[in-house]
Structure 1
């Protein structure tokens, strides 16, 4: 039997005997592998590239053709698409015979239109096509009922209709629902399909070139770029199956990030943290197996054999962790993809990026070997006679490793300087990369930090004093655990500060021209008679709701002018449009009666809600109209208090229009009113004018960053507490003689427990405090590109105090509490005279 095979068998048996320790090591090594593998599979499965999604766009056809509106032209090529809406002749739509002439005899075409139809609950996407045609196979899958005929439709489950129900478009007769269909990639899409649908006419050319009337074509030969050029001349945009780019490789978007951020993520998540966390657990196994290894050495085993046995532990446990985590990660990714899709995402065919998954698995296996390396070296140096005699190994006092401390200081200072420089960059990758020197420098400084903190041990109570002194005396195991806590805490702190800064910046920089709850209705250019009908219908549909008027300004030639001004938002100068109205609109904008602001408006002054836009008692406006130069106008202005603190905007009086030679025409309606979710106001008003628009101001929304903060906290709890408890078990094994002595002189059991809990508190507390400092540097560096987009200072810097308190204070207390409730019974220790 070879030495390697024997070592693997010994390691397997030892791992089975110590199942708790083995499970902890497997968890520490396998968790990052599981997370990254799951994300890789989830991304690959949830990403639908052009080749995978072509069936949902053109079915079984060879090409999908979309007719552009009159006056629009398009030129498609292998590397570019260019189009315009104002340079083409208004030629008639292409006919089927013209398409057949381009694609060749034997071509089969069927009508196919995409767009939206208006329902009382709002617009939904629609496919106008006969689904009984073979060319439509793959567009939708029939799940229940039958396919529609004339005057009938099928719907997706998201619409909540059943076969036999009636679909009631806003401007057309009802349509009978005959079946339920599923979209192949979007389970939650609201979609209708049928052979004759009242599609809404698009107001402009759709940038996706995928909406509008058109055709599905089955050609007898492959479609070429020459065919595409000819079809473009007919006013058709083309999506051809034969001309799709090859996207069969790895998911492109995932690996488009700069290389340094990929290296940083892999080093921190898959190598550094698991090595530091699993290292103490391997050391625990070495302490428990010292006598077994000494017996092997007494029977002729060499130091190399002992090292091989411990390294085999890393190979066995690391291999098992990697295989298990890879399988679970693949299963989790494939299992979560439909769940994410049902929450509003999309899903493609099951896909496993094997090359990337195998890379991660190899790194996980390497992590197990590296984590067992230091215990293996210690096993080769242990004194066989001392271990067999039951005495604790002598620990010689070595000179302080000054070189490592100097290297650590240099790395920390260099990382801080790099973070300052990275803060001036717009890319998020550079603060992450600059955090690596800080992190590695603190790992190098950890032995010094442990020694320095041990100097306070004499001022502590007896159990804590014993715990801290033991941690300092056994720095080899303490340093690894503290460094792991530093790495995990630093990563959590930097993400927490960055996310909170972004959230606070969004809250601070959010501006709106209207207060929360204001309903705005407008319909663009219309006749006076149409406006009268729209206003009357809005009053009928909103009984008892006061409606204030907003006005459009037109010059003598009838051209509409927009009164624009420039304000500063988030470090950049952005344009805003001033409203025109009377005292009723002012009352809605302020949420109350303000006599001073009303008097200023009546005297011809503008009421401004953002003081930074007023200079020398005036606001500067630009009267803008299409195809004409802007006219600069200065208007006397007063600053007033709006209804909401985030509210900006400007209100111009009606007398301003007369003074500047404009005609003010009412074309907008405003009210403070909350529309219910099932309101049919929009669909009802479209009967008056199809292009009516409705908007409700909801105010600043809370981003989902807070949720991710607590997800990070959960991951940190798992890693920090797990690693700390592993190191605490190792400390308890090393403190057996001390605990036996304490028990012999009458120490109560709680004193023994506090000595063990003190180890956990010291390790987690020191790591959390140092990690807080390291994470703060990177978090502050991230604050600028995440808030000001590199456009100006000062960037928003915000600290999530509750999150940081739970991380820096709560985690050490939790780790010590869990160590406190563990068994702390001290067995009798044999003493040699």
Structure 2
């Protein structure tokens, strides 16, 4: 760049800064239009995306130098820097290679003792034991299951792995802190500070003394106990994958990779902080992948900013037309005028992006404690992804320049004679503004729509990308759409006819406004269709596993005493002769519930898992009343099979040679009981029941298993429980325990009221805000025409009607086009794959993830009506209300 050119840019920036300070309201508006999306993107990238290393560790190291675990039988193992493992045949030699534990690790394991680990470390090293495992523990309101860690949180090595939020840290054996995630999950006082829990089958007492947030390391702990609260063997055998029994190491020197390999030779798995710190950013792929997935959303945001800020820059260009004319008559070239106009975009883009990035980063830092509390875990050290933040800021500057580009081109065409004499510029009188690029727009719309249809059932990022292509095509077609609408308005009343023709004559101002409204409406309609479809699907199929009218009280983790109290509370609200059906589930001799699954005898693998009664049904234990409820009819043959000790199965296809083999597992993990082979009878159900198989309590006892109550049921065939009665039962049960669920099965109507209210508020803010800016610009440019109307005797209300017509045209064109364009991506998003599909149980006991009569698509007609009818009319009324009705007389101009 030559010195003259550089000085010209500096002069243009000074002019832009002076005008920005002079028009503070317009400047603030532009800064908000560009800066707020930048701030939102930076906040999301900084606060919501995973922090590096936050989910890679088996056990959080904190301030320790390393965490180690191992057994003498593992001598000669190899590992990667994170302690991960692979099959034994892989023998890596680098820090990023994988763990190989010899085959004998699955036999007898002699774990290292604390003294042996200390002897292998550098002199002066210190170690403290840590352990983790899944336990079932008894609360005052029933049983619960979760991970329990055992470590001294007061030790400096634990610093950074937690943050105490309430109470104090454990100081003696028998004390623990509960995780905020566990406390927030159920929102009940069952594990609050001051409560004593009974942990494990031995029921060791543990008193909760505080609440803490913990760093994510696989599964967040429900409780963290002081060392000695639980015996070491209660955590199971030593395991390198789970770090079930390990030690934190405080070493006088860093634990190097050579030390790790030396420990591997002795049978120790080591995760060293010094080794991890020297690793390259192996999370970069995930970070780049996350950034790539956000590209379409950032591009849509950029497009919206350009279209939204464009009219605001056009207003500034129009108000500075006399300034541009004076520069032109003093020798300024069109290039100089364009540079002065583009300086606005550069100045506002840089200022808004810098302020937005700073605001987003500060907001993310301030919001981190609240987000951590809501998530129930620590996010790790606060880090700013500078590459992503810089990219977003640069995009903000680019958005400012692109928004100022069209006004800059118009400024370069300034007719100084017409402007200084107060006349309309000739180029504008002749309608020289182009009608867009219809051919390019048609190609983009067709290809984008086809890609959107093809993206149905795939990742949502593909749908967003294809929708972006469609929107770009519609932006290119917007001038042609405006021209077509003007031709259709030939027979409309004067205000609408004038507004339509004014929109055609000033496409450079109207097209960005219509396109901005259209882009916002496309996003709102797409979100509305996808969200409404999801609500309808959940409401129609998410909770319809029991017959309509059934009252269920479920809670497999309640104690017998609590069940007695719950049973009495339910009985008090029911008529005397109504049977209360009790469904039980298999359990160990100590009362630990067991999960059951069918085992394929030929392959030895499980085919269909049978969950407990609080899930999708399962192997239930009960009498003929339960069997009648499950089958939805009286069946003497099935009752006889039940009394004979047979397993009554709703899906006869799983029976092999008159028997069914059932695998069992503890809900708390650990060694599983041996498989159970039972004689079976297949009986087809005639209606929607709950279980897939029923066995009698006597048959369970004969096979050496106990039972625990899982659910109480009131069959609608016996008594159809009124809603008021169910509400009273629920209130009584809640006072007894918060770990029981009372449900009255009733047909549910999709309730999308809150969802539509939120979308409607967003639609009103976006559409009315964009329309207002464009309408103000149109009113300023139409001033000469309004003055002419006044001179020929137009009534005062004409100006209000004209401004209202301009607002109506802009809002109506943008809304109608946006609604039509938003249906395709909304439908495609609604058909995306569900990560965790709901399991549905047919009457024959067979499960399926997708019901045959699943709802197609739910269209939010109320939202569409608001967008197509309500908001355009509201925009027109708003434009008329804020416009002065008194028309100014035309000024006398020198000839």
* TM-score with structure 1 setting the length: 0.78
- Whether the aligned pair in 2 keeps the contact of 1:261 and 1:433 (CA below 8 Å) is no
* Partner residue in 2 for 1:168: 196
SS in 1 for 2:338: helix
Q: Is the 8 A contact 1:52 1:349 kept in 2?
A: no
Any residues of structure 2 matched to 1:796-807 within 5 Å, and which? 796-807=856-867
Which of 585, 609, 620 is the equivalent residue of 2:626? 585
Structure-2 change in CA distance of 1:137 and 1:805 (3 Å): same
Structure 2 Cα separation of the partners of residues 551 and 587 of structure 1: 17
**Pick aligned residue for 2:802 from 718, 742, 755:** 755
Contact residue 58 and residue 216 of structure 1 kept, 8 A: yes
**2:85 is matched with which residue?**
81
Residues 21-420 of structure 1 aligned to structure 2 (within 5 Å): 21-43=26-48, 47=51, 49-50=53-54, 57-65=60-68, 76-78=79-81, 80-82=84-86, 88-103=106-121, 106-114=124-132, 118-120=138-140, 127-130=149-152, 133-140=155-162, 149-150=171-172, 153=175, 155=177, 166-170=194-198, 191-198=223-230, 209-210=241-242, 212-219=244-251, 222-223=254-255, 238-244=270-276, 249=281, 252=284, 255-257=287-289, 261-270=293-302, 272-345=303-376, 346-394=378-426, 395=428, 397=430, 404-420=437-453
In the superposition, relative to structure 1, how do residues 255 and 630 fare at CA in structure 2: closer, same or farther (>3 Å)? farther
Q: Which residue of 2 aligns with 1:624?
A: 661
In the TM superposition, what is the alpha-carbon distance from 1:263 to its structure 2 partner? 3.5
C-alpha distance in structure 1 between counterparts of 2:78 and 2:196, whole Å = 39
Provide the residue aligned with 2:484 in structure 1: 452
Partner of 1:782: 829
1:36 positional shift: 0.6
Moved more, 214-223 or 444-453: 214-223
What does residue 454 of structure 2 align with? 421
Question: Does the aligned pair in 1 maintain the 2:311–2:513 contact within 8 Å?
Answer: yes
Task: Give per-residue Cα distances to partners, 1:248-289, cap 9 Å, x unaligned.
Answer: 75964763537764432232212x211111111111112211
1:637 partner SS: coil
Tell me what 1:495 maps to. 527
Counterpart of 1:530? Answer: none
CA positional deviation for 1:379: 1.4
**Which residue of structure 1 lines up, in the alignment, with residue 573 of structure 2?**
none
**Cα separation, 2, equivalents of 1:599 and 1:213:** 55
Distance 1:780 1:738, change over 3 A: same
The answer as to 2:46 corresponding to 1:4 is: no
Q: Which moved more, 1:771-780 or 1:627-636?
A: 627-636
Distance 1:231 1:513 in 2: 54
Shift of 1:508: 3.9
- Contact in 2 for aligned 1:604/1:655 (Cα 8 Å): no
Q: Deviations over 1:361-388 (max 9, x none)?
A: 1111121111111111111212111111
State how far apart, in whole Å, the 1-side matches of 2:836 and 2:56 are: 35
Secondary structure of 1:111's counterpart equals: strand
Cα distance in structure 2, aligned partners of 1:165 and 1:510: 35
CA distance in 2: counterparts of 1:10 and 1:239, whole angstroms: 60
By relative contact order (CA 8 Å, sep 6+), the higher-ranking structure is 1
Describe how 1:545-624 pairs up with structure 2 within 5 A. 545=570, 546=580, 548-550=582-584, 577-586=618-627, 596-597=633-634, 601-602=638-639, 621=655, 623-624=660-661
8 Å contact 1:582–1:654 — kept in the other structure? yes
CA deviation after TM superposition for structure 1 residue 482, in Å: 0.9
Distance change (3 Å), C-alpha of 1:745 and 1:562: same
Query: Whole-Å Cα distance in 2 between the matches of residues 483 and 151 of structure 1?
Result: 67
Contact kept? 1:156, 1:183, Cα under 8 Å: no
Structure 1 window deviating more from structure 2 (26-35 vs 94-103): it is 94-103
- CA 677–22 in structure 1, closer or farther in 2 if over 3 Å, else same: same
Query: Where does residue 554 of structure 2 map in the other structure?
Result: 519
The answer to whether the 8 A contact 2:70-2:239 is kept is no
For 1:50 and 1:260, locate their aligned partners in 2 and report how far apart those are by CA, in whole Å: 21
Q: Is the 8 A contact 2:255 2:275 kept in 1?
A: yes
Residue 605 (structure 1) shift? 9.8
In structure 2, relative to structure 1, the CA distance for the partners of 1:630 and 1:755 (3 Å cut) is farther
Question: Which residues of structure 2 form unaligned runs of 5+?
Answer: 88-100, 571-579, 589-593, 600-605, 644-648, 664-673, 714-728, 838-848
Alpha-carbon contact 1:497-1:776 (below 8 Å) kept: yes
The 3 A distance-change label for structure 1 pair 369 and 652 is same
- Give deviations 1:586-616, integer Å, cap 9, x for gaps: 57669xxx6x44667547699xxxxxx989x
Which of the numbers 871, 875, 889 marks the counterpart of 1:811? 871
Name the structure 2 match of 1:477: 509
What SS does the aligned partner of 1:456 have? helix
Give the superposition deviation at 1:140: 5.0
Partner of 2:712: 671
Give the alignment's Cα RMSD to 1 decimal: 5.0
Shift of 1:480: 1.3
Are the aligned partners of 1:63 and 1:218 in contact in 2 as well (CA < 8 Å)?
yes
Distance 1:744 1:516 in 2: 77
- Whether 1:443 aligns to 2:475 is yes
**Distance in 1 between the 2:764 and 2:524 partners?**
10
TM-fit CA distance, 1:223: 3.8
Return the alpha-carbon distance in structure 1 between the equivalents of residues 560 and 55 of structure 2. 49
Query: In 2, Cα distance between the equivalents of 1:580 and 1:177?
Result: 35
Q: Distance in 2 between matches of 1:605 and 1:629?
A: 17
2:564 aligned to which of 530, 535, 539: 539
**Which of 825, 829, 833 is the equivalent residue of 2:890?**
829
